[in-house]
């Protein structure tokens, strides 16, 4: 039976597709977007996250660490990111949940046991199951097996994707999914690479395939000030989606809610600035002038 790396299963998700849903978050992403609000989702291996606010300075972690990676910060304990192997022993012993492991190997059955628990909620709300990430399709066979299993139960399948996925796997995904929440981050290949680490040729191919299929697609755009909100980019989007007669777009304005997770992973948060309501209004008008209908999610 296939298995893979899951970093969270969120029951009662109400913003990841229709109705009440369970969202299965797979760990691992081929993209590294500058604004990523779930930085722990990028690597495919388990990672120890250290939330310093919660540390009570009891020192249990220092006692159990086999690598000498726990360092004293006066009243609290930090980590030496070079020495830490993400083995998770400190997280196991931490009594205040300041140290937590993100990511664990689960089998399809283990995931399904949790997914099935809320079936009545799906029935009563026209909800279902959403796969998110990371990039869920990066889970490969594991992802496809889960999607198939969910489909076999008769639950609605939503895939929240960046679209960066080998073409054959993506075409299989199209068959399994009832709905895509499909990110459109930038239309220009060079800019796309600058912002996310990869160019968008494959993504546009998959977007094309999804939009040409029977599977429902909601186009979503993380909106970043000065990065992808230019008139030029929006014009390019309008040109691309015109072919499919699509003008509805869900926009997700930049927010800094993931900031503390960067700190927890020992990483620097590179984004700065959010939209003021006025600025957002200007950008939204830009969309409208190109015939888009925007919804903020």
Partner 1 sequence: MTTLSTTKESETQGAVTKGYGINWDTAESRVKELKDFLMSAPQVMDPERLQFLNEVYDKYQGESVVYIRAKLFERVLTQKKIFLDGNPILGTLTGVRAGVYAYPEWNVAWIKEEMQMAKMASLGEMKIPAETQELLEKTYKLWKGRTCIDQNNKLFKEKYGINPKQFAKAGMYYENVSVASGSGIADYGLVLNKGLRWLINDVKQRFENCPTTLENKEKHDLYRSMLVTFDAVIAHSHRYADLAEKTALEETDPKAKAELLEIAEICRRVPEYPARNFREAIQSFWFIHLAIEIEQMACACSPGRYGQYMYPFFQKDIEEGNLTREQVLTLLKFQWIKHLELAEYQGNSYALTLSGHTGQSITIGGVDKDGNDASTELEELLLETQIQMNNIQPTLTLLYHPKMKDSYLKKVVECIRGGSGQPQILNNNAVIQRTLARFAQYKDGITIEDARNCGNYGCVSTGVCGKGSFITQEDQPCIAKVVELMLNNGKCPVTKKNVGIESGDPAQFESFDEVYEAFKKQLNHLFNISRKHSDLSQMARLQVVPSVFRSAMYDGCIEKGVCEEAGGTRYPQVNPIMTAGIDAANSLLAIKHLVFDTKKLTMQEMLDALKSNFEGREDIRKMCFEAPKHGNDQEEEQSFVQQFYRDMDSIHHAQGPDCFGYRTPLDAYSLSYHNYFGALMGALPNGRKAGVALTDGSVSAMPGTDHEGITALIKSGAQAIDTVRYGANHFNVKFSPSVLEGPQGARTLIALIKTYCDFGGSHVQFNCVSSETLKDAQDNPQDYSDLIVRVAGFSAYFTRLDKGVQNEIIKRTEYDS
In angstroms, give the least distance from the CB of 10 to partner 1. 7
In angstroms, give the least distance from the CB of 8 to partner 1. 11
Question: Of 17 and 28, which CB lies nearer to partner 1 in the complex structure?
Answer: 17
Question: Of 5 and 20, which CB lies nearer to partner 1 in the complex structure?
Answer: 20
Based on the number of CB atoms within 10 Å of its own CB, is 120 exposed (0-12), middle (13-18) or buried (19 or more)?
exposed
Question: Of 72 and 295, which CB lies nearer to partner 1 in the complex structure?
Answer: 295
Residue for token digits 């709905």?
A: 179
- What residue ranges bind partner 1 (CB under 8 A)? 10-16, 18-20, 37, 53, 95-96, 117-118, 120-121, 124-125, 127, 252, 255-257, 259-260, 297
Evaluate whether 149 touches 129 at the Cβ level (below 8 Å).
Answer: no
In angstroms, give the least distance from the CB of 116 to partner 1. 11
Cis peptide bond N-terminal to 295, omega within 30:
no
**Paired residues of 113 in beta bridges:** none
Question: Of 96 and 276, which CB lies nearer to partner 1 in the complex structure?
Answer: 96
In angstroms, give the least distance from the CB of 219 to partner 1. 15
Q: State in Å, rounded, how far the first CA of the chain is from the last one.
A: 36
In angstroms, give the least distance from the CB of 129 to partner 1. 13
Question: Of 45 and 56, which CB lies nearer to partner 1 in the complex structure?
Answer: 56
Evaluate whether 115 touches 107 at the Cβ level (below 8 Å).
Answer: no
User: Which helix (H) or strand (E) covers residue 90, if one does?
Assistant: helix 89-93
Neighbours of 50 (CB within 10 A): 24
Token pair listed for 266: 């020992």
């Amino acid at each position: 039976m296939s298995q893979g790396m899951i970093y969270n299963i969120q029951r009662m998700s109400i913003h990841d597709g229709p109705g009440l849903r369970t969202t299965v978050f797979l760990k691992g992403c081929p993209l590294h977007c500058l604004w990523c609000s779930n930085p722990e989702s990028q690597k495919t291996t388990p990672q120890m996250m250290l939330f310093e606010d919660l540390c009570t300075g009891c020192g249990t972690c220092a006692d159990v660490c086999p690598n000498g990676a726990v360092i004293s910060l006066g009243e609290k304990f930090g980590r030496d990111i070079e020495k830490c192997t993400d083995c998770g022993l400190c997280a196991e012993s931490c009594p205040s949940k300041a140290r937590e492991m993100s990511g664990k190997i689960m089998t399809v059955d283990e995931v399904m046991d949790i997914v099935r628990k809320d079936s009545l909620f799906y029935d009563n709300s026209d909800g279902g199951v959403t796969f998110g990430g990371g990039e869920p399709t990066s889970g490969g066979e594991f992802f496809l097996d889960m999607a198939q299993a969910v489909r076999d139960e008769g639950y609605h399948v939503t895939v929240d994707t960046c679209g960066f996925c080998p073409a054959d796997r993506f075409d299989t995904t199209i068959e399994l999914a009832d709905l895509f929440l499909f990110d459109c981050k930038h239309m220009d290949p060079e800019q796309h690479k600058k912002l996310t680490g990869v160019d968008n040729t494959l993504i546009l191919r998959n977007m094309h395939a999804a939009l040409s299929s029977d599977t429902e697609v909601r186009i979503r755009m993380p909106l970043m000030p000065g990065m992808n909100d230019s008139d030029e980019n929006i014009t390019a989007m309008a040109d691309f989606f015109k072919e499919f007669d699509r003008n509805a777009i869900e926009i997700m304005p930049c927010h800094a809610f993931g900031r503390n997770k960067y700190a927890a992973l020992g990483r620097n948060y590179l984004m700065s600035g959010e939209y003021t309501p006025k600025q957002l209004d200007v950008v939204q008008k830009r969309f409208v002038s190109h015939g888009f209908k925007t919804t903020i999610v």
